[in-house]
Chains A and B, each alone.
Chain A
Amino acid sequence: MRRSVLSNFCLLLAVSLIVLTGYGGASSAPSPVEIRVGLLFPLTGAFGFLGTEQHRGAKMALDMVNAKGGVLGTKIQMITADSKSDPQIAASETQRLIDQNQVPIILGSYASALSTSASTIAERNRVVFWEVGAVANELTQRGYKYFFRSVGNATTYAEADVDFLSRVVAPALKKPLQAIRVAVVHENGPFGTSVADSLVKLLDKQGIKPVSRESYPANATDLTSLVLKLKAARPDVVFLTPLVADALLFWQTAQDQDFNVPVLVGSAGISSPAFQERFGNRGVEGVFDVEPPSAAGLNPRGLDPSVAEALRSFLVTYAKEYNRAALIHAGLGFNGAWIVATDVLPRAVRASGGKLTPDVIRQAALATDINDKDSILGYGVKFAPNGDDERGKAFIMQWRNGNLVVVWPEALARMTPVVPMPTWDQRR
């Protein structure tokens, strides 16, 4: 009887001590919580060039936060995995990050095709998948609870396109909107198809029927047929939604075949530094792009001063370390990771009570509420129940003198748009 009272008392004491130290919270010594973040990007393969940019941006954000002491005093442990531009490898690497490294959150993944397979694995394992760059609408139509994306979806691209078409292009070409000849060209994967579908739907609402709608496989080795068809259709505007290598191939073929069009609005590879490096300043002059704003090309005048300073610091550090400007993809990586590290994770750690689980992070993500002016890329973040960023927006950029600058809408624009683009003869 005495023995059991003693052992009960000891047990009670031990449990109390554990409970009391566990509820230390922010006011106690630095939290013993471990913060592990997985980074899944295509560092090699067909998307390698832009996947690397996005990874660099994300890593830089996390490094910067760690340099200031980490999240509430705890450094973030980063584990990087290369999805090699292959959806199957993306899936297996996601599983590996979850099993071997026990990450509660994964930042990724650049491409819609990769995101689809990787986030499926994450959802199955109830791990948060924070998408920084892939925009296909279907990613948030699956009823997933652990999927979030800090970027506007494909519909935002279509909205920006149509807005630009009606407010800038039609007046500049001195044609009524319904008379504009529009061609919609896209790679036939989830990204290209999602953007093209959204675009055609919105154009239809304006009474515009495209004179040409073409899809092609992103790994096509020859696009001569495509360009010849477009030439025959004589469009005023081509909306091109490519991936990486095919974007360059398209432009090269357009040059070879002397395909001239007053306005080309591209995406993905068209906004890549490799595009400018391959064709030179004159070769890319005037080409438009629709995407979230380019970090180095946006006008920060509307941003909160501290946020503008963080952006400036990022741009300078990135340029110095990688010898090229941080454009769209590096900016998206940075923005997503920055929000996770400076907004979501602190909230999650405070609520976690010692163990950072995916569910705690998920709750913290749902509470995210950042305004446009408080966000580095000029568009805020607040998640709809399906994981889409309600405040996500796309912008129109233009290559001017080798720089990719935002030209529309005016809120973030650095320059006014120039329509039409130079012809190939004028580029020589």
Chain B
Amino acid sequence: MFVQTVLSGLVLGGVYALVAAGLSLIFGVMRLINFAHGQFLMLGMYMAYWLHVLFGWNVYATGLVVVPAMFALGWATQVLLIRPIRGSNPSAYLLTTFGLALALENLAAIAWTRDPRAVSLRYGRLVLGDIRLTTPGLVALLGSAVAIAALYAFLRYTRLGTAVRATAQNPISAELAGIDIKLINALTFAVGTALVGIAAVLLVPTYYVFPEVGHIFTIIAFLVTVLGGLGNVGGSLLAGLLIGVFEGISGTYISVELARAITFGIFIAILFLRPTGLFGQQARV
């Protein structure tokens, strides 16, 4: 039972990590908390759902459309909503993305009602003794790992990725070094949102899709981002997996009802001991 709990926790944790990686990246580069992050996930899930239900596409194949679409959506959001308010009151960012979150959720409720929707898939499983891993679970685990690895490779080994890291480190110096900050900001937001698109496609086979589904993922993404250290993508991965496993263990061994509350409690305890998160650095002035 313990191994199964941990395994199921890792599957969920992988998706948490993926969602948080995008949020962490956006914060790292632009010092911006995107409150609408979870709602982007919700939109991605609906997109995948409708492509599957209306056109019969394989759920994972919808990623070919969903991920580029989310990339474009992220780019557009940064250019049309975020960039114009640059330089104004810091709370303007907060309110703008918060307003966007509310707007997206309610528009979705009007367009598609609040009925929870599920794709009915027949899927297989791997059985190893007492352990079971469903196919969607396996795909989610591998998919998250590959996506985060790709993100890491992009940031570490490509020129563009290095430019992103430079901007995160010090935007002014980066600009002086000739990096187009406007482009990098838009690109970062777009990549962060594209990651959420991948997470959406990985979730749709086993999760209900409804307008409020973004809420809990936004909160958990914040949790994971802070736990992993704001701006630390690798930290997000570990923190995400940790949170996923914690939740599973709390649920199985203590109480299903309190699992999330216990996880949040542990989060508070960790922050108490290490305010910058598990892997974060001290704030730069």
Contacts and interface: CB of A to CB of B under 8 A. Distances in A.
Interface stretch (B60-68, B88-96, B113-121, B276-284): B113-121
A245 interface: yes
Contacts of B113: 44-45, 48
B115 A221 contact: no
Interface in A203-221: 214-217, 220-221
Interface stretch (A53-61, A227-235, A290-298, A400-408): A227-235
B208 A225 contact: no
A338 to B, nearest CB: 28
A225 B256 contact: yes
Contacts of A248: 118
A226 B116 contact: no
Contact of A223 (B120, B134, B256): B256
Contacts of B22: none
A256 interface: yes
Contacts of B255: 214
Given A221-B207, A221-B208, A222-B12, A256 B125 contact: yes
Interface string B249-260: 011100111010
Contact of B256 (A214, A221, A232): A214
Contacts of A257: 4, 132
Contact of A215 (B118, B206, B207, B256): B256
B218 interface: no
A223 B257 CA distance: 10
B273 interface: no
Contacts of A225: 5, 8, 248, 250-252, 256, 259
B1 interface: yes
Given A224-B8, A258-B132, A48 B256 contact: no
Given A48-B115, A245-B208, A216 B256 contact: yes
Q: Which of B208, B210, B251 has the most chain A CB within a 10 Å cutoff?
A: B251
Given A45-B113, A215-B257, A224 B248 contact: yes
Interface in A23-51: 44-46, 48-49
B256 A226 contact: yes
Range for the number of chain B residues in contact with chain A: 20 to 34
A119 B257 CA distance: 28
Contacts of B120: 278
Contacts of A252: 206
Interface string A155-196: 000000000000000000000000000000000100000000
Contacts of A398: none
A222 B251 CA distance: 10
A413 B256 CA distance: 36
B115 A216 contact: no
Contacts of A221: 207-208, 213, 216
Given A44-B114, A222-B12, A228 B257 contact: no
Nearest to B12: A222
A387 B164 CA distance: 67
A45 B114 contact: yes
Interface string B1-14: 10011001000100
A245 B115 CA distance: 10
Nearest to A85: B114
A229 B114 contact: no
Interface string B204-227: 001110100100100000000000
Contact of A188 (B5, B12, B257, B259): B257
A206 B259 CA distance: 32
A217 B257 contact: yes
A229 B8 CA distance: 13
A229 B253 CA distance: 8
Contacts of A84: 114
A46 B114 contact: yes
A252 B8 CA distance: 15
Contacts of A229: 251-252, 256
Interface of B: 1, 4-5, 8, 12, 113-116, 118, 120, 125, 127, 132, 134, 206-208, 210, 213, 216, 248, 250-252, 255-257, 259
24 contacts: A44-B113, A44-B114, A45-B115, A46-B115, A48-B113, A48-B114, A214-B256, A215-B257, A216-B257, A217-B257, A221-B208, A221-B213, A224-B251, A225-B8, A225-B259, A226-B251, A226-B256, A228-B1, A229-B256, A245-B118, A252-B206, A256-B125, A257-B132, A258-B127
Interface of A: 44-46, 48-49, 84-85, 188, 214-217, 220-226, 228-229, 231-232, 245, 248-249, 252, 256-258, 278
Q: Pick the 4 closest A-B CB pairs, nearest first.
A: A225-B251, A45-B114, A225-B252, A44-B113
